Amino acid sequence: MAPSDSLAPALSLRGLTKRVPGGRTLFEGLALDVAPGEFVAITGESGAGKSTLLNLIAGLDAAEAGDVAIGGVALAGLDDDARTRLRRDRIGFVFQAFHILPHLSLAQNVALPLVLQQARAADALAEADRLLAAVGLAERGGDHPAQLSGGELQRVAIARALIHRPALILADEPTGNLDPQTAERILEVFTAQARGSGAAVVLVTHSERAAAVADRRLVLGDLGLVAADV
Amino acid sequence: MSEALGLAARWMAAGEWRAHPGRVVTAALAIAVGVALGFAVHLINASALNEFGRAVRTVNGEADLRVRAVARGFDEMLYSRLARTDGVAAASPVVELAAAAPKAGDLTLIGLDVLRAARVTPSLVASQGAGPGAVASQDVAAISPALLAATGLRPGDSLSLTANGRTQAFRIGGVLTGAAEGQKLAVVDIGRAQWRFDRLGRLDRIDLRLAEGADRAHVARVIASQLPADAQIADAQTDARASDNLSRAYRVNLDMLALMALLTGGFLVYSAQSLSVARRRPQFALLRVLGVTRRALLVQVVAEGLVVGAAGSVLGLGLGLALAKGALALFGGDLGGGYFAGQTPDLVFAPGAAALFLALGVAAALIGSLAPARDAARAQPAVALKNLGDAVDPRAAPGAAVAVLALAAGAAAAFLPAVGGLPIFGYASMALLLAGGVAAMPWLARRLLSPLRRTSFGVPPLDLAVQRLWGAPSQASTALAGVVASTSLLIAMAVMVASFRGSVADWLEQILPADLYVRVDAAGQGLSPDVQMRMAATPGVARAEFARTAPLRLSPDRPPVVLIARAQGWDASVEGLQVGPSRSPAPGTVPAWVSEPYARLYGKKPGDVIQLPLGPKGAVRASVVAVWRDYARQSGAIAVSGVDYARLTGDRTASEASIYVAPGARLETVTSSLRAALPADLRSRVQFAQPRQLRAFALGLFDRSFAVTYVLEAVAMLVGLAGVAATISAQTLARTKEFGMLRHVGVLRSQITAQLAAEGALLGAVGGIAGVGLGFAMSQVLIHVINPQSFNWTMQTRIPLGLVAGVGVALVISAAGAALIAGRRALSADAVRAVREDW
């Protein structure tokens, strides 16, 4: 895989166009640069294509036109395996539905990205325990997901997204399944940990409160990606 | 796969197995049962064959080369010529007779020149008690331990031996220590044998030991050039091939049948893996998002299946070994075919066979895991992550391309010839048809359910059931793969057995038209022309037809064919049994009617000229007039007229008689009169039987030979049913959210239960239709390809409608029952919260 350019944006979109089956255009000609360490929130109405945009950035979907580059590495021209390795090394994910594997312990869930990068199990699990403590789940590494609440599960997901020190974190409605109080706490944890890691963050959300923590707010709509205060 | 990905895969697999151990155990057990059955059958047959071969070697000894009579012996002058042949170090003349003894029944009697035999085949003279010299003098016999036990006598006692119609008492001089277990064998001096049993001037065998450094092939050629038409040359290898060929097709067919249980196990692994993959779709999607490649995911799923297969195979080997040991101890070495009757062989462990069955078990699991693994790898991660329930898209019409390809390949394979006398392509055809049939299940399910879907029954549970199954036909395939496989195999075997039995029963009606049958046993000399006349003139006898049967060895590495000479000729008697057209005999040839097995084994057809080694003047040219159906003599039979036979051989005796009773005469009276017409010394050597007794005996043998088949089929069916129950259960338990939604909108609990029962019944019906249709197609391969290529006989198709209907009903009931039971658990409040969902 081509090495990243340290001066390049953490994420760069150029002329991105996506249509859905049936011919409707979701967005056309999107452009966006996210600097390393920058926190960007994207809001928009349901059906605007926010999650689709995240899938395109992650290389999980293909656009009809345009380019996506992660740390200067263009996804176009990479085959599926190469895109998969790029995700493994440079991107962390936080999902609305948490997606914590029920049959693994909390520590194993968090350690998974490091294990996939060929880290030794002992080292990965130790780092996982450290991150679990950082998100407020100290000494819980041996527990299983069934023993946790929704908020606790999302903390585990945040720890998993950070353990391999990704250059870019993609968060899709991370507080969407949480009650307001829990959502507030999770937002604090997520913001603190993400900023502390130095990773760039693209957060997709309906929540004004969640969007408010970002350095830059964008709205995805008929006009494409525009600043929120336009 | 890198070590890192392997660690993640181990975590995933261990987690899955901890959460659902029941399903893993079920799949492993299915493989274990298949491997156990196949391995046990193979071990039993191998052990029996080994013992059979040992018995043959005991009788034949360890000669380098052997000259054998083709029919009824050859001139003993041949011995001196061969003994002087360059390259021959020693020659041992042998007389070999079918004999009998009181309480012991049939046995083999060998007459040896003991001193010469000691140089060529010492195992035939190795004995406890009297040494070799004792047998050479007077009427002394060395007998095998089995014969000693059967007679209840001890060394030194007198033993009456009957052979070739003569009875003579011998003193038991010693015990043959080298005889195989269960083998009844007696060795006497050759001069005594020839004199006492009317074989003066005749030999049945000459065993040869070659000189050190002699070129075996060259010596064999020189000897062959000196042989008359009634003798042929053989060696240990041809002997082994002949005895192996006798039972090879039967053993291979039984092995294939046992492997069907393994095949069913493979389908069960497919079902289990498919379910596991479907349930873990979001997890696999997450792994793909986190950076696991498609190939790594495919390897993981396949590896999980391989572990299950390996565990099941190892367990199966152990079970199979125990099963074989137990079966040999309890039932002996005969699995019903009659080839190894009377044997209680020791278990012979075959490491090669163990490795093969281990590999087959693992391969079954591997094949069962490939399709689910491919599905897991191909799933779109972004889509799969969003789907929190079933990933079912009713718009996706199931394709049939793979199924059509497999079915077409299967049909094509059925037309290919046998390989080495085995129906390899026939088995391949069955496997391809099976794979194609299972692959066609989603398409078939949708086609069968489409008319129902367009109809509204007005019964919500039934409408919901139809709609659900129509929309998710692949799930039907997953649930039914194992049971469709075992059902179709059961139907195929049932149709074949019914066809075979029906054909045999019809054949028996045609081949046994007389009122009474008389047979002289092998130790008897036969019915002389005078005796035949007296029998024909017996009051109450309207007509008597006589025949002589004798073995005829046409090929050294094949069992002998049976020569049947019938005084009344053959045209009329084969009319109802004839297969194909007839041809007039060529000028100067003897007309011959050959059996279907002979025609297929030796590649002959009406109009062909064959050589029959009859009579002292050499081979006789005979024309094949017609081929007739014969289920009694698997090695083949050749029928000639009694007049031709007597002219060529000088033998006017008969070994069989068919008696037609005059109207009004009582059968019992005629039987007594016929017995009285026999010479006194022949009466104990003759059996009388009525046609119904013979038919019952033959059909009893038939049923017994298929008893093991029925057991194997039942096991395969049970494995399949267990699979459908487990799979339906798992699919139902995975739909708790769906049921919760239905309950929210007002569907009653009883209505959901009824829906599940309807789904199960519809699944069972679809599976039954598929299984019966596929089974019928496969039965045609069995009837028209595998049976003819294996056993060289053909039959007419007959369908056991009762059994077919019963299997279909059983399938519907068991599938509905499994869905009902699983549904009750899924609807219970505890089940919704349960972590463990094992069956």
Give pLDDT < 70 ranges for chain B.
Answer: 1-5, 56-61, 126-137, 240, 243, 246, 331-344, 386-396, 456, 524, 571-575, 615-618, 737, 744-746, 826, 828-839
- Contact (Cβ atoms closer than 8 angstroms) between residue B94 and residue B82: no
Q: Distance between alpha carbon B421 and the CA centroid of its chain, in Å?
A: 14
How many residues would you count in chain B? 839
Q: What is the pLDDT of residue B404?
A: 95
Distances (CA, A) of B353 to B9, B33, B203, B837: 32, 16, 41, 38
- CB half-sphere exposure, A133, CA atoms < 13 A: 8
Please provide residue A168's backbone torsions phi and psi, each rounded to the nearest 5 degrees: -140, 135
Helix (H) or strand (E) holding A201: strand A200-204
Q: How many whole angstroms separate alpha carbon B371 and alpha carbon B418?
A: 31
Q: Which residues of B touch A60 (CB under 8 A)?
A: 289, 380-382
Does residue A22 belong to the interface with chain B, where contact is any CB pair within 8 Å?
Answer: no
Does residue B12 belong to the interface with chain A, where contact is any CB pair within 8 Å?
Answer: yes
Q: Do A118 and B380 touch (CB under 8 A)?
A: no
CA distance B746 to chain A (A): 26
Q: Which residues of B touch A115 (CB under 8 A)?
A: 4, 7-8, 11
Which residue in B203, B138, B133, B146 sits closest to B171, CA to CA? B138
Which residue in B219, B137, B214, B228 sits closest to B174, CA to CA? B137
Residue A200 has pLDDT above 80, yes or no: yes
Please provide residue B209's backbone torsions phi and psi, each rounded to the nearest 5 degrees: -110, 130
Q: Do B5 and A60 touch (CB under 8 A)?
A: no
Q: Which residues of B touch A99 (CB under 8 A)?
A: 282, 286, 385
ipTM, two decimals: 0.82
Which residue in B52, B500, B33 sits closest to B248, CA to CA? B52
- CB half-sphere exposure, B803, CA atoms < 13 A: 19
Distances (CA, A) of B379 to B39, B283, B284, B387: 38, 11, 9, 12
Q: Indicate the residue of B8, B14, B385 with minimum beta-carbon distance to A95.
A: B385
Q: What is the pLDDT of residue B246?
A: 66
Q: How many whole angstroms separate alpha carbon B640 and alpha carbon B549?
A: 10
- Beta pairing class for A65-70 and A200-204: unpaired
Supply the Cα-derived Rg of chain B in whole angstroms: 33
Preferred mutation among B17, B279, B290 to probe A, highest tally of A CBs within 10 A: B290
Q: How many whole angstroms separate alpha carbon B246 and alpha carbon B48?
A: 13
Tokens in use for B694? 């013979």
Q: Indicate the residue of B4, B294, B382 with minimum beta-carbon distance to A115.
A: B4
Q: How many whole angstroms separate alpha carbon A33 and alpha carbon B372?
A: 41
Domain segments of chain B: what residues?
1-58+250-387, 65-234, 402-513+692-839, 516-689
CA angle B805, B807, B809 (to 5 degrees): 70
Lookup result for tokens 């053993």: B251
Please provide the average confidence, as pLDDT, over all residues in chain B.
83
Q: What is the pTM of this model?
A: 0.76
Which residue in B783, B782, B776, B780 sits closest to B801, CA to CA? B776
Per-residue burial over B575-611, b if 16 or more Cβ lie within 10 Å, else e, is eebbbeebeebeeebbbbbbbbbbbbbbebebebebe
Q: What is the pLDDT of residue A2?
A: 46
Q: What is the pLDDT of residue B730?
A: 73
Q: How many whole angstroms separate alpha carbon B410 and alpha carbon B412?
A: 5
* Ramachandran class of A37: left when φ > 0, alpha when ψ lies in -120 to 50, beta otherwise: left
- Contact (Cβ atoms closer than 8 angstroms) between residue A180 and residue A210: no
CA distance B6 to chain A (A): 9
Q: How many whole angstroms separate alpha carbon B717 and alpha carbon B711?
A: 10
- Contact (Cβ atoms closer than 8 angstroms) between residue B28 and residue B319: no
Lookup result for tokens 């948490």: A98
Q: Indicate the residue of B16, B292, B380 with minimum beta-carbon distance to A116.
A: B292
Preferred mutation among A116, A125, A204 to probe B, highest tally of B CBs within 10 A: A116
Q: Which residues of B touch A153 (CB under 8 A)?
A: none
Q: Do B294 and A87 touch (CB under 8 A)?
A: no
- pLDDT band of residue A199 (cuts 50, 70, 90) is very high
Q: Which residues of A touch B15 (CB under 8 A)?
A: 101-104
Q: Do B290 and A88 touch (CB under 8 A)?
A: yes
Q: Do A103 and B15 touch (CB under 8 A)?
A: yes
- In terms of C-beta density within 10 A (0-12 exposed, 13-18 middle, 19 or more buried), how is residue B481 classed? buried
- Beta pairing class for B127-129 and B516-520: unpaired
CA distance B395 to chain A (A): 14
Q: Do B8 and A146 touch (CB under 8 A)?
A: no
CA angle B715, B718, B719 (to 5 degrees): 85
Q: How many whole angstroms separate alpha carbon A55 and alpha carbon A62?
A: 8
**3-class SS at B612?**
strand
Q: Distance between alpha carbon B393 and the CA centroid of its chain, in Å?
A: 46
Closest chain B residue to A120 measured between Cα atoms? B4
User: Which residues of B684-831 form beta strands (DSSP E)?
Assistant: 686-689
Number of Cβ atoms within 10 Å of the Cβ of A23: 6
